[in-house]
Amino acid sequence: MEPLTESDRASAAPGDFSIDLSGIGLPLSYDAVTDVLCDGRRVWSFAVEDHPHDGRRRRVRWPAALRGRLHGSSAVTLRRHDTGAALCHREVVFDDLPGRVRVVDHAGRELVINKAGHEAHALDALDSDARASLADGLASTLRMLNESCGVPGFLAYGTLLGAVRAGHFIGHDTDMDVAYFSDHTNPVDVALESFRIERTFRRSGWRTSRDSAGMFKVFVTESASAMRHVDIFSSFCCEGLYHLVPFVTGALSPAALLPLGVVDLEGRSLPAPADCAALLEMTYGQDWKVPNPAFQYELPRAVNRRVNVGWFHNYVAHRRQWMSFYHDADRAAVPAEPSSFARWMTGLEDRDALVVDVGCGTGRDVLYFARDGHRSLGLDYAAHGFGPAGAAAGREGLPVSFEPFNLCDLRNVLAVGTRLAHDSGPRIVFARFLVHALGEQARQNLWRLSQLALRGGGRLYLEFRTPRDSTTKHAFGNRYRNYVEPDVVVREIEQRGGRIQYRTEGQGMAPYASEDPHVCRLVASWSE
């Protein structure tokens, strides 16, 4: 195909574009990165070449997160991102509902759909005070890295790009990025250093959250009612290659990073690599100077396998799905009353046991256990889920606590397992609909936790979907489900010294709405 000339591109007239609920239609002659504005505000950007065509016209489908918000009508503008030129502007009626299209969060803050198709708060929606507050937070983060943590920290990824290109945050960016250059050359030491640095932030009163063994976030103040995160990435040299977690691997000399230079961002001089252009070219390619809000990293398979899947384990697998689930309307569909499995369990156990509900979700069963006379502890890695239940427990004065807990992080499992092992008195580990929601490593960690917690007595109660459930229609749609044969679960528990005391499989045990899943119930113990 011949490359399009500027005159070809300019030949697209407003009438060549169509906009409706199914998506956007474009002439083939048009191929620029495009912003979509609703009532004058940018809500999404896309690269034309990422979308299919039928030989005559190109069809751009709305990302699911935006499609679900297209109700009522809106003045929709399509705009070239590079020149800012409007391509077409028209009033679009998406459906019969009254009102305008609103792309905002539950608190009314404006959202955009980012390049990954997720809802996010873009920096271009912020006023000058909020931008100044974020720049101060970023400067504090870099001071912590360079002065308190003893590692050379510098701006990276989109934040460095915005600073070098224009001295400002990139408007369509949604977070801030910094990295540090480690002296270590072995991934084990790099991970340990990242753990140590996160601890230093915590000890200084910062709120943090870890995504992988090579990356964590710190939270800085955006305004009186909002926080925003700064991603802190490890970078290091190993076997002659430079790695900046999670996207960059290549031949970059340490001299391109150190000694650190400075770059201006929102009126502040902040640490930057010695040769910003070299790192930006390695990150974004030779066209790094051309703005592109639809930019996607094309991560070579070998880099992804080595750095992200191999060296630095992902601690947040599928968590975004669960966070969204607890934010949107699906949450209301989760029954408030306890599960039948929880009722069944309490009929078999004495009331003085501590019940640990692993993967407690909304915490409905945790509240039930407490109301039934048990001490109870709810654990889940999507902490948004149990927020309302925690508040309810506080109001009722129930003996309940909820804690963020991540089965993907062995440190978390060992710490909580050891604490439970030291807790005197009988205890129950309860995990309903958890086993089929876990990857292989997280499942092994569930057995580790149970083994630690129950070595002094008590029982493990499991209810999970079996592979026979995999082809049936589910009330909550197609989520990540890793079906495991009950025989495999039994074997894994027995290999870790557990003994199965009860096993049953079938339907009729966990019906919900029109769904009657095929499940397995297991009870196991570890003590003599």
Partner 1 sequence: MPVGGVVVGVAGRLRTWGRVGAGRLAPTVMASISDVPRLIGRIRDLAQAQVRLSRRITELEAEVQECRRLQTRVAEVTDFVVEVLIPAADRDDERLRRALERYEREVL
Contact residues for partner 1, defined by CB under 8 A: 186-189, 191-192, 195, 198-199, 202-203, 213, 305-306, 309-313, 403-406, 409-412, 414-416, 418-419, 422, 441
Nearer Cβ to partner 1 (226/317): 317
3-class state of residue 312 by DSSP: coil
| Contact present, 462 and 431 (Cβ < 8 Å) | yes
Closest CB 313 distance from partner 1, rounded Å: 4
Cβ neighbours, 10 Å, residue 56: 7
Which of 91, 86, 83, 77 shows the shortest CA–CA distance to 42?
Answer: 77
Query: How many Å apart are CA 71 and CA 93, to the nearest integer?
Result: 8
Closest CB 312 distance from partner 1, rounded Å: 6
Nearer Cβ to partner 1 (189/287): 189
Sheet (strand 427-432) strand order = 400-404, 375-380, 354-358, 427-432, 459-465, 519-525, 499-506
Nearer Cβ to partner 1 (64/415): 415
Residues in the chain: 528
Nearer Cβ to partner 1 (146/444): 444
Query: How many Å apart are CA 34 and CA 248, to the nearest integer?
Result: 26
- State both tokens at 47: 């690269």
Closest CB 190 distance from partner 1, rounded Å: 8
Closest CB 232 distance from partner 1, rounded Å: 15
Bridge partners for 505 per DSSP: 520
Closest CB 417 distance from partner 1, rounded Å: 10
Which of 353, 162, 149 shows the shortest CA–CA distance to 141?
Answer: 149
If DSSP states are collapsed to H, E and C, what string results for 157-178?
HHHHHHHHHHCCCCCCCCCEEE
Nearer Cβ to partner 1 (104/309): 309
Nearer Cβ to partner 1 (306/384): 306
Closest CB 452 distance from partner 1, rounded Å: 12
Cα-to-chain-centroid distance, residue 337: 29
How would you classify the pairing of strands 208-212 and 112-113? unpaired
Closest CB 309 distance from partner 1, rounded Å: 7
Query: How many Å apart are CA 54 and CA 71, to the nearest integer?
Result: 28
Closest CB 196 distance from partner 1, rounded Å: 8
To the nearest 10°, report the CA torsion of 322, 327, 333, 337.
Answer: 80
Nearer Cβ to partner 1 (88/144): 144
Nearer Cβ to partner 1 (311/464): 311
